[in-house]
Structure 1
């Protein structure tokens, strides 16, 4: 997802675009089983018209297509390069089942009252104006339709063993830098209020846990690879000393045969009112 009013640009990934896309693939696959279970609990059903906002290279889109064989999936992203990757991945799927649209989360150019269910995964932490995006998603939902936001909060990001002691300080500095650029790595705690401010009703929230004892350690090694933080070092967000400490901590973590890791992802759901009266932003 590349957005003019967003803090994420795949082209800026320190590890390179191909490695970043592979990381996104692993991340999506690690969380899918539990996230899909919760999506169903929130009301996602086969046969619904589903909107995926900020689909990126299409790894979650692929899972939705596989698990909702009678649904129509519309996947949007502002980054044409990522959309092209998603299209290539799903070129075998008939157009009547999946549609890709280059569009902004703030202005999707899609019909009003069109979708039964919308999903935005790891989008809102990057947005400069999350309220506008939530309201735009509401516009295209049918009355009674639902939005589920899947996102993070660095305050409860998870745990690593052996502990990377420098990591909390680095995450704090990155969160401050992202906030200065318009993002919010603590968005998770604000999701219920965000949905309420946008006019959603029947708001609920839950958490899903990824743990290396279930998903394996390799995916977590990708997430915490010190090279992912090289760009923050180059831009001065973290010092050379801190970056060297991180590299040493990561080396210890990645080579420890007994290492384990856990990450927390938050899911918040809101329902579009069945009346026509919506909250103004």
Structure 2
């Protein structure tokens, strides 16, 4: 999504686009096995027509292609740079299996009643109008088709040891900053209500736990990389004292032989009525 429609802009990330791509890759793949297991429980099957909304650089798209060899996958994103990354990464996939769509989640331009299953991973927290996006996705779903939203809630984001004491106050400020830009970093708790308000039925919800003892520390270290917070300091969102404390705490975390971390992601599923 671009700045007018979303609180996320890949070109403006403060940690640099290469580091951001690595972060997104770790974020996508760390808990993929659990996410895929839950997607299957929600009804995802090989052979379905699947739409991925907010596909970004195509890390999850690649996993869907690998796990669903007889499915047609559409990867949709409004960010040209990210979509080009996805096209390059998946250039070996035949056009009969993968389609790339440069469009907004609010106006996909896709046909009515076409898809069996839609995956929207870590995009709804960035949307100015999530109800409009959910309604647009419902339009392109077949009757009986399903939307699964995978997202976060910073109110219950997880845990980290050694504890970074400044994290709660920084998270609170990031939540406020995201809200001022039209996003919602606490959207996880609202997903069932969002789906219901958008006309979906048979709503269900689950949580995915990513733990460094199970998935390795590398991905967690990228999430807390101090370079990601430099922009917040420069914009006055966090104070210099908070930044310095975060930097010192991160260095302690990075060096500690006992370091471990846990993050929560939420998955909510709704069905388009017959």
1:178 matched residue in structure 2: 178
Aligned partner of 2:61 in structure 1 is 61
User: How far 1:4 sits from its partner (Å)?
Assistant: 2.5
- In structure 2, the residue matched to 1:101 is 101
Q: Secondary structure at the match of 1:6?
A: coil
Q: Which residue of 1 aligns with 2:114?
A: 114
Task: Quote the Cα distance in structure 1 between the aligned partners of 2:212 and 2:204.
Answer: 27
- CA RMSD across the alignment: 0.7
Q: Specify the SS of the correspondent of 2:31.
A: helix
For 1:136, the equivalent position in structure 2 comes to: 136
For 2:13 and 2:28, how far apart are their aligned partners in 1? Answer: 17
Counterparts of 2:118 and 2:104 in 1: how far apart (Å)?
15
Equivalent residue, structure 2, for 1:220: 220
2:164 matches 1:167: no
The corresponding residue for 2:205 is 205
Give the whole-Å Cα distance in 2 for the aligned partners of 1:30 and 1:3: 28
TM-score, normalising length from structure 1? 0.96
- Structure 2 residues without counterparts, runs of 5 or longer: none
5+ residue gaps, structure 1, are 275-281
Report which stretch shifted further, 219-228 or 146-155: 219-228
**Whole-angstrom CA distance in 1 between matches of 2:149 and 2:116:** 15
Distance change (3 Å), C-alpha of 1:83 and 1:231: same
Report if the CA contact (8 A) 1:2-1:77 is conserved. no
Alpha-carbon separation, structure 2, partners of 1:181 and 1:23: 22
2:262 is matched with 262
What is the rounded CA distance, in whole Å, between the counterparts of 1:3 and 1:30 in structure 2?
28
CA–CA separation in structure 1 for the residues paired with 2:186 and 2:103 = 25
TM-score normalised to the size of structure 2?
Answer: 0.99
Name the counterpart of 1:32: 32
- Give the whole-Å Cα distance in 2 for the aligned partners of 1:238 and 1:3: 21
Shift of 1:14: 1.0
Q: Would you say the 8 A contact 1:74–1:101 is kept in 2?
A: yes
Distance in 1, matches of 2:114 and 2:191, equals 23
Contact 1:120–1:149 under 8 Å retained in 2: yes
Q: Which runs of 4+ in 1 moved over 3 A?
A: none
SS in 2 for 1:210: strand
1:277 is aligned to none
What do residues 148-167 of structure 1 show as CA deviations (whole Å, max 9, x unaligned)? 00000001100000000001
SS of the residue corresponding to residue 261 of structure 1 reads strand
Secondary structure of residue in 1 paired with 2:169:
helix
Q: Measure, in 1, the Cα distance between the counterparts of 2:22 and 2:218.
A: 12
Kept after mapping to 2: 8 A contact 1:192/1:268: yes
Residues 49 and 71, structure 1, Cα contact 8 Å, conserved in 2: yes
Partner of 1:230: 230
For residues 82 and 14 of structure 2, the distance between their equivalents in structure 1, rounded to whole angstroms, comes to 17
Alignment correspondent of 1:75 = 75
Any idea what the Cα deviations from partners look like across 1:10-35, whole Å, max 9, x if unmatched?
A: 11111100110111011111021000
Instruction: Give the secondary structure class of the aligned counterpart of 1:19.
Output: helix
Query: Aligned partners of 1:3 and 1:76: how far apart in 2?
Result: 17
Cα distance between partner residues in 1 of 2:230 and 2:139: 39
